[in-house]
Structure formats: structure tokens, C-alpha cells
């Protein structure tokens, strides 16, 4: 027998026919013939180093010093960087010079990859090895889906959602118990689990396959599983990015992330999880085709996201959706594109805790949770934002093990533990959806305060979980203060599943308590937050001390010491649209704002900021309340535009925004803006959290291009300063009138140093209180 034939037979025995067919770059690229040297893998001597950067400039530099970024993020904070031996000394020297914390996460990337390949080789040599003992190529995953359907007794069906860019099928499995009395399969709610949008995250398909495997294989023996499969149709798509996943089974491509789109400029791949159409193109998504977070040319530009969009849209009863990724051990709820809390954040907080608690209960692994934007990083165009924001379905990303010790190359002995702990999270989510008939939440959040004498509308979302909402049953219950009976009023349907009611405008200084109720068609009353608790909103008066829509010039100043920008200086103008600059100001009426040169020019970079800084300083304004006012808070609000995510040095600059209480003698930073929202962003700050309010306040915006090649445009509009509190009454003795007896009562309290005599609210009783009292007494 020839040597080549012997090698061919050995190859068939090692990897099996299914594992050797259809892999990008040649069949059986991961296979190794017994007795031969391993296929060479690059990355010899590469390490993964975690460096915690503190500024955008440090981020720009550190990413140029690395060979590959393992994070799915681009911002200040911990960055996991793959570094070759040639670049490592320069990176470590620079980090030490900058005094930045850094540590070695993976001392030898090649050794980790070699160990993974060897584990797969040995597992493929063994007979009757458990399917979850190792990782599998896409062909073996699809074969196992067919086997599960055949073993299900007719409860499971394999489907093809559509084709990938390279023509591979995107396959999944859907299963539900046979029809039950009063519970036909066709009417059951649906839950969906998917993964491998990012090709290198091999643990993700394993967790999805475990969900399908356990729910089908243990249906007859596990009461919890049976209850879920009796109640739901469960849909699992293990691998969305089938082309990219197949490509990672070629040794040199193991750490590939994107799909396999030829971008036409020598680069390949679009990040599918930046390509979903809801709020596509904002923060955390790159415009550079060679970047790992490249968003594509448009929302849903890729066949894979188009296929999955259409498939998810075809699920009319979908209630919950999880997209599995790695790594970081996180349960992430919407939104990723904005730091603003989503309308159902209170519900997500509760469910996040329920799922992370379930994960911890299995193996003691801690998964943190929260909205994607703040819990991990800004990311626009991600699937949970679309599933929740466009389809109205509860949706999550779960980042699986680990926290960086092995990263994307999670050892195979952690497949089953990772799958088990996340299966518990899946069961808990399904049980919540099954057991809760109505889900209520406040889309605008709880109002921080109410204005005295002014009723305020409040909106409530009421979603059907497992019960039909009884029409006309949604009610708002309110009372003034914390005692007495609640008054109940019907809430009107505003649109969709959003209802609207009115909170009363009570007297200043007290509070309004409120809660909500709704009834199901089965006669059960559901309360939010509960029948025994209530939400609370204090009553204040509102005093506006500064309000500038920029339609007239109130005295803003352009320029400061150190400003050397050559173009893009601040001006008050009606901006002309560019790729980096708005077409309109932020105001609902009016057209003017402060903008860094409002002209459009022949390109977005013609009139942007170049060569340094340009400073915009507000006129002097007061943040003090009227005399004799008990203040609860003083707030500064403004709208800002900022763009810094294009050009050769994208995301390398920032705009410091500061406040002064002493006419500009000293400044305190409010925020260092780096947010590329492609929109006007409204920001609010409680002034007391930064400086003591005074009569000599100023605000300063420093837009700058530090010579890195980024295109920087900035804008400011609608600056507002509000004081909330209660004006003190001259009726000191509270007998219903203002007369001499109030003066006598005040001085008795003042001489005794009683807190009620502190009319100027400075924390002490002194001569200033006398003047403030008489101002209030004269006011009545």
C-alpha cells in the first residue's frame, strides 16, 4: 500500500468525513495525521496583555502598538491586546512611562492554540466520546442538529433560515411538545437562542447546542425541562456567521471575528453584530473596513443579518431572545447604542439578577449584568437593540466564560460547565415568561420630582406575558403624602402597549405616592410595583435662572489662552450638513446654535477643527434661587453635538466641558465628551455635585484636534439652568395669614437657633436669615 494512501486512510479515521468537508480554505484544515508534525500555527511568542488606558490618546497609541485587539470595545478602560515578541518591549515601555496598569493574561498564544488543536485531535481519535467533550466544525454541528431532530420523536424540526455570503446554509432547530388539551403548539409563545455572530467565539455554538440537546434529550425525565417544552416553542440557531466560523478552523485564522465580505480595499469582513438596522452606525461601530468592529456600508448590508432579520420577524409569538458571545461573563440588556436607560429597564434589572443568580448557583461563577452601553462598552447596530427596539421583544447578549485568562480559546473542559450554568439562566428566563401574565414598566422612568400645582402625565408600558390584558383595566393609584387612601383613575391607551395617566400637582414640600394595576382576562389583578408598595415623587417649585436657545447672542465668548486651531472655530450659525456636522440646531424652534464653523465645504474635513483647540465660554449667569427658598437641587442642562469617529485618527480626540463658580478663575470638569452619537445629545448635571452654586457661574466647551488626523466637529445649543425647591412662606407660625405674629414667632425661633429659622439655607442661624425672612414676609 502506498504511503499517500495510508495517510489518506489515517486522515479519514482522525477527523471523519463530516469534519473534513466544506471548510473554507480546503477540506480538513484542522486535521492532523497520526505521526506527522502539527500543522504550523502563527503567533509564536505572542502574548495577550491587559492595559488599562485612561484617555483617548492613550487608546490610539496602545492599539497601534498591538497586533490584535481582543476586546469588542474601543474606549478608555481595560484593553486586552495580542502583542508579538517584536512589539512587546515597546508596549511595556510605553505603559510604564504612562504609569498605566498592565498585566499578562495569556503568556503564549501559540501554546494555547496548539493545546486546543491537540485536544480536538485526541477527542476525534476516541470512540463514543461525549459530543460536548470538544469543539466541532460547522459540518458536525449541522449533522448533530439532524440527529437531535431524528431523536426527538417528531417534536423537533431542523430548518434553514437562509444562505450566507459564501452560500452556506444557516441552520437551526425548533422544538415543542406535542399538542396538549387547551395548549396547541401553534399558539405557544416562542423563545430564541443564537450565537457565533463572531467567528472566533467557539464556546457560543456549544452553549446553544447544549440548550437544544438538553431540552430534547431530557424532556421525558426532567420536570423543569418538560414544563418549558410543553409551554414554548424553543428556537436555536447555533451559528449565524457560518462563513467566518468555517474560516476559523484553518489554523492561521483561528482568531478571525467578522464575516467574509470582500470590502474591495484589500480588507475582508463586516462585524455582523454592528450591522443590525436599529440605530445602526453610532458609537462603538467602526467606519474603517479593516477594523474588527466595521459596521458595513449600511444597516443589514450583509446576507447573514438580512436572513436573521427576516427569520426573527417571521416569529409572531416571540417573547425572549438571547445572543451568546464570549468572553467576559456578563448578562447584557439593551441598550448598547446609548447610555439612556431603555423603557423596560426596571424589568431588565430584575431579570438580569434572576439569570446571573441562576448562573452563580451552578458552579459559583460570577456574571455581572446591566445595560450593554455601561456594563461593557457602547456598541450600535447590535442584535439585542434591534430585537428589543424594533420588535419589542425582551432581548440580551450573554458574554460567556472566561474573564480573559484564555479569552476566545476557552479550554474544552470548560464547555460543559459553561453550558450548564447558562442553561440554568435560560430555564429561569423561560419560567419567568411563563409565570408572569403581564409585564409593567415605566418607559420614561420615575419622575425625579413634580412641579407644585402642575399635574404631570406619566406613561406605563403593559406587555402581555402569558395573559390577555383585560381592556379598560389599567389604572393609576395616587395619594398626596404617605398616609390616607389612594385615589384610582383609569389610564388611557396612548399607542401600542403604552398607557398614559396624570399625577396630581400637589403643594410644594410634600410628595405624591403612586402605583399601577391591571387585570388579566382570567380575572387576576397585577400590581406595579406591588399592592403593598408605591413609588414616590417629591413636589417642588421650578425657578429658571438662565435659559439660552442661542437665537440671540447673550454674550458668549470665543477664544482662550492656548487656542491655536487654524480652522473650525466656534461661531453662532445655522449649520450646513456634512458627514460630521448636523443640518439643524437642537431647538424645536429657531435655527441657530454654536457650531465649529457651520459651513459644509467640499468635504466633511474642509471646515472641521484643525491644528489645536477652540474654546467657547458662556456669559456670566446665576445659579442661585430666589430669596428664602429651600433648595432641593440646581440643574444645568445643555444639548451638544460631537463627532470624532472619522478620518485617519478616528476616536483620538475629546471635548472637555467644564463649569466655574467664580467667573472663570477656576474650572471643574463636568464631562470629557467622546460620544459620537451622530445626533444632538441632551445632558443634565446637578450643579451641587460639582461646585457650590453662585451668582458668578460660567460654562466652557473646548473642542480640539490634537493633530491625529481625526475629523472633529462640535456644537452647543439650548443651555438651561433650573433651581428646584420651595419658596419659604412669611407665614412662620402657619396660622394661615402673614402678620406681626409671624415676626414674633420667627425671632423666638431665631434666638433659640431652631433649624426653621435658617431662612438662607446655609446650615446655620445668623444675621443673613433675618434679611431672608423679611423678604419672604413681605412677599406674603
Q: What's the pLDDT tens digit per position in 15-64?
A: 332 332 222 322 223 333 333 334 445 789 999 999 988 777 788 788 88
DSSP 105-118: EES-HHHHHHHHHH
Single out the residue of 179, 305, 285, 297 nearest to residue 230, CA to CA: 179
Q: How much is the CA Rg of the chain, to the nearest whole Å?
A: 31
Domain boundaries, the chain: 47-107, 115-147+155-160+170-176+191-435, 439-537, 549-726, 730-779
Query: Any residues with CB less than 8 A from the CB of 672 and at least 6 apart, and which?
Result: 654, 655, 656, 657
579 CB-side CA count, 13 A: 13
Q: pLDDT averaged over the chain?
A: 89
The pLDDT of residue 464 is above 80 = no
Cell of 524: 387576576
pLDDT score recorded for residue 29: 30
68 versus 466: which is more confidently predicted?
68
For range 436-440, the mean pLDDT: 82
CATH code at 47-107: 3.30.70.340
Classify residue 590 as left (phi > 0), alpha (psi -120 to 50) or beta: left
The pLDDT of residue 148 is above 60 = yes
- CA distances for 204 relative to 123, 199, 247, 289, 401, angstroms: 19, 9, 16, 25, 10
Residues 216-235 pLDDT 10s: 999 999 999 999 999 999 99
Please state whether beta strands 450-451 and 535-548 pair in parallel, antiparallel, or not at all (unpaired).
parallel
Single out the residue of 233, 238, 235 nearest to residue 169, CA to CA: 238
pLDDT score recorded for residue 41: 52
How far is residue 370's CA from residue 350's CA, in Å, rounded to a whole number? 10
Lowest-confidence pick of 12-21, 243-252, 682-691, 771-780: 12-21
Cell of 237: 440557531
Cell of 533: 408598595
pTM over 0.85: no
3-state DSSP assignment of residue 769? helix
Residues 605-658 pLDDT 10s: 899 999 999 999 999 999 998 887 888 899 999 999 999 887 777 778 899 999
CATH code at 549-726: 2.60.120.200
347 versus 594: which is more confidently predicted?
594
3-state DSSP assignment of residue 41? coil
The pLDDT of residue 729 is above 70 = no
The separation between the first and the last C-alpha atoms of the chain, rounded to the nearest angstrom, is 112
529 versus 92: which is more confidently predicted?
92
3-state DSSP assignment of residue 740? helix
Fold of 115-147+155-160+170-176+191-435: Aminopeptidase (3.40.630)
Q: Determine contact, residues 342/333, Cβ cutoff 8 Å.
A: yes
Please state whether beta strands 475-480 and 511-519 pair in parallel, antiparallel, or not at all (unpaired).
antiparallel
Residues 278-334 pLDDT 10s: 999 988 888 999 989 999 999 999 999 999 999 999 999 999 999 999 999 999 999
State yes or no: is 524 an active-site residue.
no
Which is catalytic among the residues 302, 399, 513, 772?
Answer: 399
3-state DSSP assignment of residue 171? strand
Residues 99-108 pLDDT 10s: 888 999 999 9
DSSP 607-666: SS-BSSEEEEEPPPB--PPSSSEEEEEEEEEEEEEEE-S-BTTTT---EEEEEESSTTSS
Confidence of residue 603 (pLDDT cuts 50, 70, 90): confident
Could you tell me how far CA 301 lies from the centroid of its own chain? 22
- Range 439-537 classified under CATH 2.60.40.10: yes
pLDDT score recorded for residue 730: 67
Amino acid at each position: 500500500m502506498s504511503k499517500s494512501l495510508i495517510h489518506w486512510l489515517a486522515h479519514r479515521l482522525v477527523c471523519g468525513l463530516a469534519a473534513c468537508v466544506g471548510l473554507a480554505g480546503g477540506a480538513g484544515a484542522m486535521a492532523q495525521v497520526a505521526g506527522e508534525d502539527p500543522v504550523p500555527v502563527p503567533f509564536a511568542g505572542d502574548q495577550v496583555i491587559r492595559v488599562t488606558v485612561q484617555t483617548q490618546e492613550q487608546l490610539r497609541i496602545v492599539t497601534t502598538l498591538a497586533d490584535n485587539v481582543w476586546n469588542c470595545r474601543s474606549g478608555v478602560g481595560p484593553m486586552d491586546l495580542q502583542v508579538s515578541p517584536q512589539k512587546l518591549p515597546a508596549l511595556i515601555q510605553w505603559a510604564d512611562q504612562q504609569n498605566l496598569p498592565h498585566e499578562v493574561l495569556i503568556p503564549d498564544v501559540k501554546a494555547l492554540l496548539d493545546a486546543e488543536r491537540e485536544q480536538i485531535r485526541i477527542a476525534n481519535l476516541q470512540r463514543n466520546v461525549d459530543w460536548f467533550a470538544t469543539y466541532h466544525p460547522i459540518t458536525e454541528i449541522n449533522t448533530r442538529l439532524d440527529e437531535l431532530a431524528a431523536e426527538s420523536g417528531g417534536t423537533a424540526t431542523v430548518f434553514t433560515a437562509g444562505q450566507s455570503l459564501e452560500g452556506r446554509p444557516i441552520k437551526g432547530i425548533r422544538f415543542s411538545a406535542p399538542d396538549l388539551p387547551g395548549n396547541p403548539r401553534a399558539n405557544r409563545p416562542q423563545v430564541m437562542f443564537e450565537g457565533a455572530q463572531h467567528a472566533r467565539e467557539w464556546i457560543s455554538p456549544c452553549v446553544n447546542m447544549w440548550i437544544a440537546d438538553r431540552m430534547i434529550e431530557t424532556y421525558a425525565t426532567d420536570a423543569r425541562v418538560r414544563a418549558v417544552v410543553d409551554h414554548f416553542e424553543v428556537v436555536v440557531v447555533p451559528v449565524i456567521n457560518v462563513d467566518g466560523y468555517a474560516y476559523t478552523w484553518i489554523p492561521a485564522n483561528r482568531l478571525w471575528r467578522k464575516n467574509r465580505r470582500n470590502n474591495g480595499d484589500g480588507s475582508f469582513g463586516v462585524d455582523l453584530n454592528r450591522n443590525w438596522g436599529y440605530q445602526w452606525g453610532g458609537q462603538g461601530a467602526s467606519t474603517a473596513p479593516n477594523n474588527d468592529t466595521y459596521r458595513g456600508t449600511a444597516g443589514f448590508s450583509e446576507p447573514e443579518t438580512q436572513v436573521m432579520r427576516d427569520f426573527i420577524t417571521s416569529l409572531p409569538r416571540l417573547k425572549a431572545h438571547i445572543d451568546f458571545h464570549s468572553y467576559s461573563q456578563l448578562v447584557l440588556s439593551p441598550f448598547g447604542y446609548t447610555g439612556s436607560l431603555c423603557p423596560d429597564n426596571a424589568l431588565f434589572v430584575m431579570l438580569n439578577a434572576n439569570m446571573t443568580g441562576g448562573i452563580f448557583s451552578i458552579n459559583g461563577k460570577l456574571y455581572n449584568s446591566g445595560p450593554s452601553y455601561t456594563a461593557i462598552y457602547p456598541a450600535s447596530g447590535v442584535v439585542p437593540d434591534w430585537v428589543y427596539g424594533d420588535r419589542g421583544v425582551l432581548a440580551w447578549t450573554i458574554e460567556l466564560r472566561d474573564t480573559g485568562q484564555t479569552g476566545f480559546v476557552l479550554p474544552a473542559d470548560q464547555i460543559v460547565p459553561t453550558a450548564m450554568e447558562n442553561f440554568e439562566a435560560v430555564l429561569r428566563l423561560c419560567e419567568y415568561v411563563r409565570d408572569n401574565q403581564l409585564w409593567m414598566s415605566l418607559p420614561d422612568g420615575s419622575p425625579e420630582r413634580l412641579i407644585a400645582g402642575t399635574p404631570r402625565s406619566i406613561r406605563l408600558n403593559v406587555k402581555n406575558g402569558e395573559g390577555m390584558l383585560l381592556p379598560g383595566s389599567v389604572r393609576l393609584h395616587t395619594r398626596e403624602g404617605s398616609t390616607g387612601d389612594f385615589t384610582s383613575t383609569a389610564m388611557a391607551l396612548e399607542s401600542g402597549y403604552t398607557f398614559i395617566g396624570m399625577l396630581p400637582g400637589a403643594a410644594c414640600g410634600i410628595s405624591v405616592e403612586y402605583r399601577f394595576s391591571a387585570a388579566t382576562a382570567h380575572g387576576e389583578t397585577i400590581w406595579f410595583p406591588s399592592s403593598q408598595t408605591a413609588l414616590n415623587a417629591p413636589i417642588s417649585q421650578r425657578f429658571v435662572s438662565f435659559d439660552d436657545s442661542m437665537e440671540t447672542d447673550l454674550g458668549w465668548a470665543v477664544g482662550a489662552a492656548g487656542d491655536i486651531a487654524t480652522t473650525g472655530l466656534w461661531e453662532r450659525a445655522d449649520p450646513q450638513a456634512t458627514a460630521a456636522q448636523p443640518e439643524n440646531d437642537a431647538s424645536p424652534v429657531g435655527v441657530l446654535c454654536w457650531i465649529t464653523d457651520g459651513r459644509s465645504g467640499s468635504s466633511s474635513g474642509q471646515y472641521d477643527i484643525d491644528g489645536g483647540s477652540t474654546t467657547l465660554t458662556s456669559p456670566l449667569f446665576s445659579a442661585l434661587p430666589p430669596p428664602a427658598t429651600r433648595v432641593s437641587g440646581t440643574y444645568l442642562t445643555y444639548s451638544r453635538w460631537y463627532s470624532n469617529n472619522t478620518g485617519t485618527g478616528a476616536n483620538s480626540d475629546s471635548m472637555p466641558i467644564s463649569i466655574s463658580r467664580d467667573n472663570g478663575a477656576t474650572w471643574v470638569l463636568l464631562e470629557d465628551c467622546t460620544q459620537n452619537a451622530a445626533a444632538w445629545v441632551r445632558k443634565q448635571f446637578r450643579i451641587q455635585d460639582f461646585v457650590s452654586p453662585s451668582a458668578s457661574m460660567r460654562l466652557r466647551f473646548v473642542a480640539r484636534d490634537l493633530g491625529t488626523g481625526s475629523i472633529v466637529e462640535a456644537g452647543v445649543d439650548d443651555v438651561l439652568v433650573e433651581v428646584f425647591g420651595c419658596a419659604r412662606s412669611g407665614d412662620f407660625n402657619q396660622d394661615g395669614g402673614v402678620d406681626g405674629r409671624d415676626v414674633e414667632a420667627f425671632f423666638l425661633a431665631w434666638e433659640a437657633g431652631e433649624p426653621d429659622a435658617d431662612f438662607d439655607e446655609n446650615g446655620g442661624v445668623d444675621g443673613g436669615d433675618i434679611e431672608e425672612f423679611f423678604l419672604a414676609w413681605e412677599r406674603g
